[in-house]
Amino acid sequence: MKQIEGGVCAAKGFYANGVHCGIRRGREKRDLALIYSEYPASAAAVYTKNLVKGAPLAVTKANIADGSARAVICNSGNANTCNSNGIEIAEQTCALLAEKLGIEPSDVIVASTGVIGQPLDIAPIAAGIPPLCEGLVPDGSGLAAEAIMTTDTKIKSAAFAFDIGGTECRIGGIAKGSGMIHPNMATMLVFVTADCAITPQMLQKALSEDVKDSFNMISVDGDTSTNDMVSVMANGAAGNPVIDAEGADFDAFCEALAAVTKTLCKAIAADGEGATKLLECTVTGASDADSARAVAKSVVCSSLLKAAMFGADANWGRVLCAVGYSGVETDVTKIGVSFASAAGGIEVCRNGAGVDFSEEKAKEILSQGEIKINVSLGDGDASATAWGCDLTYDYVKINGDYRT
């Protein structure tokens, strides 16, 4: 498996575009994205667990109940959530796009992101769909990735080539996510495309398992959003034997999917609103995988720990505190903690107690842009990794006037 360029257009048969249709203020920001497969594709998705859900999620879930899709359309600037006509707007969007592309409305995955509770007019979307479709290009992933951004400061994209039964396949994805990141499935929008042949049932199985160790393991601010979804389309254009059961081919696909999703996870966490540092917490020695996940997520979610990382303060007690309220039963006298970055590594806690260390060296390590927090429990052999970011003054500034 090797990392390649191309995002959602890396896989054969996929085209993309992004335009400004008028939902967002100013013409300099693209706000309508399209991903299109020239072949019918197996489709799968997972959705936010928030009880308040954006209308596009309900429409998408109904559309891909048959396990197939041909296109993804997503607007930014308005979340289409808590609107009396939200379902109607989402369905109209699918119908307008389907008419232009010559496909069925039920072949469309529809998504929205932006402010919650604001009226959404179909007019700009209707006006934007013709140029959106006419501008589809085989290298348009970056245009689509830009069009789904809200407070994101960077385009988030990944793609990999991998082998299934002697056939080269490709998989790629784009994502948006910067604030309201605290998944209970996923708290962002992620669109993945692949050119391998796989049944909808196996595609859903792969995605549902993957999110346990990818998108469910990131947090920026502890808020689970209302519109978040991860969708995958696989169109079979690579020509591999259809993956319809577990085995070596399915494992190869899952490995490639994980490569894409974890790359996007790190990009989302690193671009958290106001963030200056990516935090990666790896827990080892847990009694089971669920315990490892719970501890790792608890650490990256700690506001106190996030603030300490912003200040490059090696306050390891905040790590132990987060372990302690994670809900995992563990022997605190066995816990070890160390910090690492491009500037080196340093042990700060052993057997649940502090050890002598250089504060100067620790500050140098924690002043880097990517910080690794390593926690060992001594309870078993399970491990897990979670991603987050530091908590800065700018987070409050960004969210203090987000709507206005």
Positions marked active-site: 187
Phi first, then psi: what are they for 219, rounded to 5°?
A: -155, 135
Give the separation between CA 64 and CA 393, rounded to whole angstroms.
42
Residue 115 near residue 403 (C-beta atoms within 8 A): yes
Give the separation between CA 17 and CA 136, rounded to whole angstroms.
5
Exposure string (b/e) for 265-275, b if CB count within 10 Å is 16 or more? Answer: bbbbbbbbbbb
HEC string for 199-252: CHHHHHHHHHHHCCCCHHHECCCCCCCCCCEEEEEECCCCCCCCECCCCHHHHH
**Torsion angle (degrees, nearest 10) of CA 374, 378, 381, 382:** -50
* Alpha carbon distances (Å) from 361 to 86, 308, 364, 377: 54, 15, 5, 25
Q: Give the 3-state secondary structure percentages of the chain, helix then strand then coil, rounded to 5.
A: 35, 30, 35
Residue 215 near residue 183 (C-beta atoms within 8 A): yes
Closest-CA residue to 7 (of 107, 110, 198, 146) = 146
Q: Which two tokens stand for residue 158?
A: 């990944």
Phi first, then psi: what are they for 233, rounded to 5°?
A: -120, 135
Give the separation between CA 183 and CA 152, rounded to whole angstroms.
17
In the numeric block, the tokens 């372990």 are attached to: 323
Find all residues with CB under 8 Å of 280, minimum gap 6, and list them: 266, 370, 371, 372, 373, 385, 386, 387
The three-state secondary structure class of 402 is: coil
In the numeric block, the tokens 């191309």 are attached to: 6
